[in-house]
Amino acid sequence: MKIAIPSEGNTLDAQIDSRFGRCAFFAIYDTDTRKTDFFPNSAKDSSEGAGPAAVKFIASKGVKTIVAAEFGGKVKPLLDKLQIEMINENGKNISKIIQQF
């Protein structure tokens, strides 16, 4: 299963980014391979629609769960429709979040 985490940086020591659609990077952890890849968030500087664009990107990577500090009103219905699980978490680094899985 693949898990996405909005991240302030592109290392396991980076903190979870509180801004889902405008985060700097997405950490995508694969529970099967135990590998984490970091992807720059190309939607972060969009004038509008950053959240939905981020959801499209995450869905294209086969993610089934997202761990984030919060989810915006435009994002929740999209994630529900795509059957992507939402887990709220804040104040931890990427490594600590991954350890939960």
40-96: pLDDT as tens digits: 998 888 878 888 999 999 999 999 999 999 888 889 999 999 999 999 988 899 999
Q: What is the number of structural domains in the chain?
A: 1
pLDDT at residue 19 above 90?
no
CATH (domain of 72):
3.30.420.130
Task: Indicate the Cα dihedral angle 82, 6, 23, 44, nearest 10°.
Answer: -30
Report angle CA 19, 46, 73 to the nearest 5 degrees.
50
Structural domain including 95 reads 2-99
Strand order in 35-40's β-sheet? 35-40, 25-30, 2-7, 63-68, 85-88
Per-residue pLDDT at 71: 85
